[in-house]
Chains A and B, each alone.
Chain A
Amino acid sequence: MWLKFEQRPEPSKTMSYLSPLLAVALMFLSGLVLFLVLGKSPVEGFKVFFLNPIKDSYGIAELFLKATPLMLCAVGLSVGFKANVWNIGAEGQLLIGALVGGGLALYFEASTSPFLLPGMIVAGALGGMAWAAIPAFLRTRFNANEILTSLMLVYIAELVVSWLVHGPWKDPAGFNFPQTKLLSAKATLPILVEGTRVSAALLLGIGALLVGYIFMNKSFLGYQMKVAGQAEHAGRYAGFSAKRSVWIGMLAGGAMAGIAGISEVSGPIGQITEHISPGYGFAAMIVAFVGRLSPIGIFFSSLLMALLYMGGEQAQQYLNLPSSISKVFQGMLLFFLLGSDVFINFRLRLVRRRK
């Protein structure tokens, strides 16, 4: 007797919701094993990694702070992913958004206009869109694979940031540190909850989830994107332009990543440095998948991913483990999700071994 996958007559809706939960459970389980292998007490490790970060209200506020850029990027990416547009360069779009929005604030540093902050956010979105427009153009005009081009542009964006903060934009009074001046109070997002670092960016994130929900579920354009992703030929037959899907998918991802970038710079960071993002643009892909490309799912999965980031910091502090352990957990989570997803289309059956 052995086990065999047998195709379901139609995909199981239940399993598509259960699968992320199964993946999270498997990630917890392998976390316990990982701590054991590393010679730490699994119970202690679990506590430090998953519970310590959110044991008080300040921790919970930090969780929402870190989840904000993730939900912004993920909701943008999900629009493209639905249409099989593989924008994997959100990290670069985030950085360019941070540069364009932050640059505006530095250029108008003396400004006290109430329009400065909204202007920065628009500029951030436009910056991210411009960076995403490159792979979109190269894909639609020259057929160049957007996966590879958007990823290459991440490296280029990192180098642009590095050049600016080491060179022309370096704070002259900054003791030669590679960073710009601090943004003025007028260019800083207001704090939402007194005593925490949670800024108005969280409202932008939740607003983006709402817009994403309406776009994907209530608009004809969103419907076309979904059809294009699920049944390319049907979409083409119905006259939905594949090129338009690429453009919309890429620009949505770029705009949201750009807003995430500027809200980090004008929020918790307060200036442009070389460390604007600890890989939010990449982690957001996992957030989007674990959230089933739906805004409600993305809300919860962005909180989970934020918890993994915070757990890594705690593990470094209290368990003497490198903080990159959070990336190990992130990667495991995505693998487990992809693996669990097999049960959406298949079920396991016992069959007699063939002779």
Chain B
Amino acid sequence: MGLNFISSILFATVVAGTPLIIVALGELVTEKAGVLNLGAEGTMSVGAVAAFAVAYHTGSPFLGILAGMGAGILMSLLFGISALTLMANQVASGLALSIFGVGLSAFIGKPYESVALASVEPIRIPLLHKIPLFGPALFEQQGLVYFSWVLILLVAWFLYRTKAGLVLRAVGEAPVSAHSIGYGVVKIRYQAVLFGGAMAGIGGAFMSVFYTPMWVEGMVAGRGWIALSLVVFATWRPARVMIGAYLFGGCMIAQMFVQGSGVRISVPAQFLSAIPYAATVLVLVLISRNRSTIRLNSPASLGQTFLPDA
């Protein structure tokens, strides 16, 4: 295995992990407020197609990202109306969002299936990108890759170093107490849900505008669900999301790894494609096995409907 090969593996791992980081961090904030939104897959899909369409018509990838974000916010607003305002079951509302979003994206995206976008030039950090081995992986990437790193710091800072973050966590741990001392539980949960939607939309935009760059029905391929699993894997801690995301990013490019390594093993392509999904199951088992880990780290009111006047 040559140096170049390892370097390109590292590069591809970071790229594959980026949408997972962004989407999982959004979901992490949502869940910290006590809301389980299973709609990430649908939100990502709609974000991806909206971003692609706008980037295609305007020629601007940046406007594409904004469109993905906007679409994500609108999608999560649907979830909010259902699960927060109308107090429907969060699991069912999230499933509805996923089913609706995947269908809607296929519907909107049909005319765009035959067109492609020009690939966007990466942003090179002067000098640093020439570092052998990990230079390209860390310093010659799309803007959203750098954004994902900043986002980890921002989310960690917000949750653990600001008053608003403290309140958000309080709402997730003890909504009734937070309500009784005057915090607007539903309002704060709405903000958390919309932030999660925005991030899922950006994650989708990264997929369709920068990663592939094209739109195909079903291209999100379970990444929304994997991002949800990542939050559990990370035991609701922002920094650990990054580790998990790159781990899964690595799993996703297993195909490239096997083909490029020069080792002649004949494994059906489908087996390699199944690795990320199998790895998700495995990781969920390893983390959840210890019940107290989950109980200590998951927000206490996660998934429970809050009734303002009950």
Binding site for B on A (CB under 8 A): 5-7, 86, 88, 134, 138, 142-145, 147-149, 151-153, 155-156, 159-160, 162-163, 166-167, 282-283, 285-286, 289, 321-322, 324-328, 330-332, 334-335, 338-339, 341-342, 345-346
Contact = CB atoms under 8 A, between A and B. Distances in A.
Contacts of A151: 222, 225
11 contacts: A88-B95, A145-B284, A148-B281, A152-B229, A152-B281, A155-B277, A156-B277, A159-B277, A330-B103, A338-B88, A339-B86
A334 B274 contact: no
Interface string B186-227: 000000000000000000000000000000010001100100
Nearest to B93: A338
Contacts, number: 141
Nearest to A168: B268
A155 B106 CA distance: 18
B274 A156 contact: yes
Among A160, A163, A324, max chain B CB count under 10 A is at: A324
A155 B103 contact: no
- The 7 A-B pairs with the shortest beta carbon distances in the complex, nearest first, are A327-B103, A331-B100, A324-B106, A338-B88, A163-B270, A322-B110, A334-B96
A138 B87 contact: no
Contact of B107 (A134, A325, A335): A325
Contact of A335 (B91, B96, B225, B232): B96
A33 to B, nearest CB: 14
A177 B285 CA distance: 38
B99 A338 contact: no
A324 B217 contact: yes
B99 A330 contact: yes
A148 B284 contact: yes
Contacts of B309: 5-7
B310 A142 contact: no
B82 interface: yes
A109 B42 CA distance: 42
A341 B88 contact: yes
Given A327-B106, A338-B89, 19 more contacts: A134-B281, A142-B288, A147-B91, A148-B225, A148-B281, A149-B284, A152-B225, A152-B280, A155-B222, A159-B270, A159-B273, A327-B103, A327-B104, A331-B101, A331-B104, A334-B92, A341-B88, A342-B87, A345-B87
B301 to A, nearest CB: 15
Interface size class of B (residues with CB under 8 A): 35 or more
A339 B82 contact: yes
B107 A324 contact: yes
A163 B104 contact: no
Interface string B275-310: 001101100110011010010000000000001011
Nearest to B100: A331
Nearest to A152: B277
B284 to A, nearest CB: 4
Nearest to B305: A345
Nearest to A81: B92
Contact of A286 (B38, B78, B99, B102): B99
A149 B281 contact: yes
Given A145-B284, A328-B104, A159 B274 contact: yes
B72 to A, nearest CB: 16
Contacts of A162: 270
Contacts of B82: 335, 338-339
Which of the listed residues B91, B274, B310 has the most CB atoms from chain A within 10 Å of its own CB?
B274
Given A152-B225, A162-B270, A331-B103, A346 B277 contact: no
